[in-house]
Copies of this chain bind each other. A is one copy, B any other.
Amino acid sequence: MKNVKFNEKGLIPAILQDSNTKEVLMVAYMNQESLEMTLRSGKATFWSRSRQELWVKGETSGNYQLVEEIRIDCDNDTLLVMVKPLGPACHTGKKSCFYRKLDGQILDNKEDGDSYNYFLEKAVFL
CB < 8 Å neighbour of A91 from B17, B27, B74: B74
Question: Which residues in window 4-50 of A have CB below 8 A to B?
Answer: 4, 13, 15, 17, 21-24, 26-27
Number of residues on chain A facing chain B (CB within 8 A): 35
| A-side interface mostly | loop
- Report yes or no: A1 in contact with B102, Cβ–Cβ below 8 A: yes
Q: Does A55 contact B (CB under 8 A)?
A: no
A102 to chain B, nearest CB (A): 4
Q: Does A97 contact B (CB under 8 A)?
A: yes
- Report yes or no: A71 in contact with B27, Cβ–Cβ below 8 A: no
Q: Enumerate chain B residues within 8 angstroms of A65, measured Cβ to Cβ.
A: none
Q: Does A101 contact B (CB under 8 A)?
A: yes
A39 to chain B, nearest CB (A): 8
Q: Does A72 contact B (CB under 8 A)?
A: yes
A6 to chain B, nearest CB (A): 13
- Report yes or no: B79 in contact with A92, Cβ–Cβ below 8 A: no
A sample of 14 cross-chain residue pairs with beta-carbon separation below 8 angstroms, ordered by A number, consists of A1-B103, A15-B15, A21-B22, A70-B101, A71-B99, A71-B100, A71-B101, A72-B98, A74-B91, A74-B99, A74-B100, A78-B97, A78-B98, A80-B98
